[in-house]
Structure 1
Amino acid sequence: MPQKIYFDESGFTGNNLLHPDQKFFAYASVATSDDEADEFVRRVIEKYGVQGGELKGSKLVKFARGRKVIDEILERFGGKIKISISDKKFSLACKLFEYIFEPSISDINSLFYGIGFHKYIANILYLEFSARGAGAEEIFQEFEELMRSGDEDKLPNIFSSSAHSENSPVIAQIREFAQLRSDDIRRELSALKNSGAGKWILDLTNTALYTLLASWGIQYSPITAICDPSKPLQHDPHIFESMIGRDEKLFSDFGEERHPITFNLSGPLEFADSKKTHGIQIADAVAAAAVYVFSNANDEDAQKWRTTILPVATFGSVMPDFDEVRLRDFRVQRNAVLLMELHARAKAGKSLTEGMPEYIRALSRRLVVDPIPFRSFAGA
């Protein structure tokens, strides 16, 4: 029999990843049966007097009795839970690399992913934003508006609002690179429009669900996926339908990390009313608890939940890693110099990819022998 897995989210804001009150997005899953979920939910609702006859994670985390329900959920289903949790601003920084940089280097993008250049760009942008670096907030806002509107007329002057006398070299280089390579970005946006994939382009739901299913697919085959109704998922279910009855197990080693990329669904995604589907209620409570834990909560409950949630919150999660921007590190120095090289080539109208593998090898050898003094980057 297929294994039923229930899914729900917390912190959904669609294409608005800069929502001031919802900084994290969690997509939670629980592998259970109808009978187990029904028995458990009915029991805790009666035991703790949960109002409305339904477990709603956003309410449970706010009150002592609700938190006890979450305690019982994590104790009962701890080994049957997987979570994807993402910092929305960092996710937006990752998407900026994907749609501003990658179109210009797509011919050899595996080379850049292999050395972690995408991680450097995303983390340095996030760091600038978090530290309120001049122009960083404007870059994020303009990029989000561009992706939501698809207005290609703004591309030649993209990120102009970020221009400031106190811009860091990184902010200036990213802004000028985007303007100089605006034709590449335009082609990418046009392709998105033609494919019909643009409506929910910044939303994190599809990626989170796909990654969770791929991870569950190692353990179970086939899977019946039961989700709370979701506009992004219902908009384009094709990628999930292609996994129906798919038995082979394929993996990706892209970016020097091995990930499963296939799974076996018993049928199309099923969308169910959470009021009537207790497995979804459990997933909803887990998602809310994950957002609570990652929102810097440090009370007794958060500390207790963290021991269960952190080990299973690694499936497609998108979180910053400041090791990727420590300029004393060889890899980070290489990526910082590489950004300067791409910027210089774009400014000179030269090919961004011609001779790049050789350039990166030569740069790597040079930095191993003669690392750049940390202070030198301040005036880059």
Structure 2
Amino acid sequence: MECFRIDESGYTGFDLLNPDQPFQGASAIAISDEDAKRLIHKHFPKLQADELKYRALAQRPANHPRLLALQQDLLTNYKCVTYVCDKRYLLLLMFLDYAVEPFYHAHGINFYADGQNYSLASLLHVAGPKLLGKGALHRLLGCFQRAMKEKSQVALEDLIVAARATRWRELPEALGPLAQFAAPECLQAIATPGVSTDAAFIVLQSLISRMEVMAGGPYRVEHDQSKKLLTYHNLLQRFIGHQEEITFKQSEIASITFPLKLQSVAQVDSKTSPAVQLADVMIGAAIEAANTLMGQRKGRLDAQQVLAQYADDQLIHMLPSVNFQAQKRFRQGTQAEEVINYFAANFQKP
């Protein structure tokens, strides 16, 4: 059975405002340990370390051409997909999902039509800090993710106070439900047990949508046995166990159908799995490239070279875009509201 190996980077649980790790992502590669071992020896014949790690290899400039050549080998000859998201942008999307959309839903308005939530989140990401007041948006988002985690009355009240402390009238479409109305339907959505700002679910959903297309038939997944990946592991098991027959269109190029072709998931020691080590190299390079291009910090590999090697269907990104017409075209006719409601009903923690 075909096996995809997965590794992640940038996972910080519910805290999507971590300044040291602004991006989160994961890579999946359908490659055997035998082929992976051969490729590692081909590109790093003098490697002395017990385990191939992107962070360690990238520190030496002499390894940069080898890393790029290894990535090119993988992208050209194996089924690969990498997902990268801006965590602050993702948090803004979640804010709109829970602190805004329920208000519009209660008034019979489809807030997600043609991806307008993505456009509004992009606008908040780019112009929000200036529009809403210095530091006001950051404080609001901090209160939001705390309220999503704690579910307490105090945290919910602090969130309303933070919303009202912004210049919310500059963008009432996004801040009005909390700041003006303290909308009970929004507060109830935030306090719902099981929902959180942990992005692992979204990362996995995106990877699975591509693995399901790439896989020729039933397949399995292996990943490192780290504590961070335990959340991914449990989510994958829930996906596998869901047997209802249903399909959702998520964007112009992505959809997801249940039951999945994914049959099983297993944790392995990355030190004994060359294939998982290659997934680490892929996501490590992609996250570093994102940091470089967004001006967070300069990476060691040339970011443009890293991303140029990807085909369009090998790289999924969740990044803000103020090209609102393109956003509308890309998400026109999608089932965003249905997807969110269905996944909340079937996959949120009990």
TM-score, L = length of structure 2: 0.78
Deviation at 1:151, TM superposition (A): 1.9
Partner of 2:343: none
Closer/same/farther in 2, CA of residues 107 and 69 from structure 1, 3 Å limit: farther
Closer/same/farther in 2, CA of residues 157 and 302 from structure 1, 3 Å limit: closer
Closer/same/farther in 2, CA of residues 286 and 100 from structure 1, 3 Å limit: same
Asked whether the equivalents of residues 251 and 258 of structure 1 are also in contact (C-alpha less than 8 Å), the reply is: no
Q: Give the Cα separation in 1 of the matches to 2:23 and 2:62.
A: 24
Partner of 1:264: 261
Matched, 1:222 2:218: yes
For residue 183 of structure 1, what is the amino acid of its counterpart?
P
Deviation at 1:212, TM superposition (A): 1.4
Closer/same/farther in 2, CA of residues 255 and 275 from structure 1, 3 Å limit: closer
For residue 282 of structure 1, what is the amino acid of its counterpart?
L
Aligned-pair Cα RMSD in Å? 3.2
Structure-to-structure mapping, 1:161-240, within 5 angstroms: 161=162, 163-164=164-165, 167=167, 169-171=169-171, 174-179=174-179, 180-191=181-192, 193=193, 197-198=194-195, 201-220=196-215, 221-229=217-225, 230-240=229-239
Asked whether the equivalents of residues 156 and 182 of structure 1 are also in contact (C-alpha less than 8 Å), the reply is: no
Partner of 1:324: 324
Q: Give the Cα separation in 2 of the matches to 1:234 and 1:293.
A: 26
Asked whether the equivalents of residues 159 and 175 of structure 1 are also in contact (C-alpha less than 8 Å), the reply is: no
Closer/same/farther in 2, CA of residues 130 and 54 from structure 1, 3 Å limit: farther
Structure-to-structure mapping, 1:271-286, within 5 angstroms: 271-286=267-282
Deviation at 1:259, TM superposition (A): 1.7
Q: Give the Cα separation in 2 of the matches to 1:299 and 1:44.
A: 18
For residue 72 of structure 1, what is the amino acid of its counterpart?
A
Closer/same/farther in 2, CA of residues 237 and 203 from structure 1, 3 Å limit: same
Deviation at 1:158, TM superposition (A): 2.2
* Per-residue deviation, residues 58-86 of structure 1 (Å, max 9, x unmatched): 22233223423421321211132211100
Asked whether the equivalents of residues 7 and 224 of structure 2 are also in contact (C-alpha less than 8 Å), the reply is: yes
Deviation at 1:283, TM superposition (A): 0.5
For residue 158 of structure 1, what is the amino acid of its counterpart?
L
* Per-residue deviation, residues 226-250 of structure 1 (Å, max 9, x unmatched): 1123132244445322258x9x7x6
Asked whether the equivalents of residues 6 and 29 of structure 2 are also in contact (C-alpha less than 8 Å), the reply is: yes
Partner of 1:78: 75
Q: Which moved more, 1:76-85 or 1:111-120?
A: 111-120
Q: What percentage of aligned pairs have identical amino acids?
A: 19
For residue 223 of structure 1, what is the amino acid of its counterpart?
Y
Closer/same/farther in 2, CA of residues 226 and 78 from structure 1, 3 Å limit: same
Partner of 1:288: 284
SS across alignment from 1:309 = coil
Deviation at 1:25, TM superposition (A): 0.9
For residue 58 of structure 1, what is the amino acid of its counterpart?
R
Asked whether the equivalents of residues 124 and 325 of structure 1 are also in contact (C-alpha less than 8 Å), the reply is: no
Q: Give the Cα separation in 1 of the matches to 2:119 and 2:198.
A: 22
Q: Give the Cα separation in 2 of the matches to 1:287 and 1:163.
A: 39
Partner of 1:376: none
Deviation at 1:163, TM superposition (A): 4.4
Structure 1: runs of 5+ lacking an equivalent: 332-380
Closer/same/farther in 2, CA of residues 309 and 243 from structure 1, 3 Å limit: farther
Q: Give the Cα separation in 2 of the matches to 1:222 and 1:19.
A: 37
Q: Give the Cα separation in 2 of the matches to 1:183 and 1:168.
A: 18
SS across alignment from 2:262 = coil
Structure-to-structure mapping, 1:78-97, within 5 angstroms: 78-79=75-76, 80-97=79-96
SS across alignment from 1:85 = strand
Deviation at 1:21, TM superposition (A): 1.0
Q: Which moved more, 1:20-29 or 1:31-40?
A: 31-40
Partner of 2:49: 52
Closer/same/farther in 2, CA of residues 117 and 152 from structure 1, 3 Å limit: farther
Deviation at 1:29, TM superposition (A): 0.9
Asked whether the equivalents of residues 112 and 118 of structure 1 are also in contact (C-alpha less than 8 Å), the reply is: yes
* Per-residue deviation, residues 258-312 of structure 1 (Å, max 9, x unmatched): 5233431232x11111111111100011001001111125877322212113735
Structure-to-structure mapping, 1:316-355, within 5 angstroms: 317-324=317-324
Partner of 1:116: 115
Q: Give the Cα separation in 1 of the matches to 2:301 and 2:254.
A: 36
In our comparison, the structure showing a higher alpha carbon Rg is 1
Asked whether the equivalents of residues 211 and 261 of structure 1 are also in contact (C-alpha less than 8 Å), the reply is: no
Q: Give the Cα separation in 2 of the matches to 1:136 and 1:176.
A: 14
Q: Give the Cα separation in 1 of the matches to 2:268 and 2:248.
A: 32
Closer/same/farther in 2, CA of residues 113 and 176 from structure 1, 3 Å limit: closer
Deviation at 1:175, TM superposition (A): 3.7
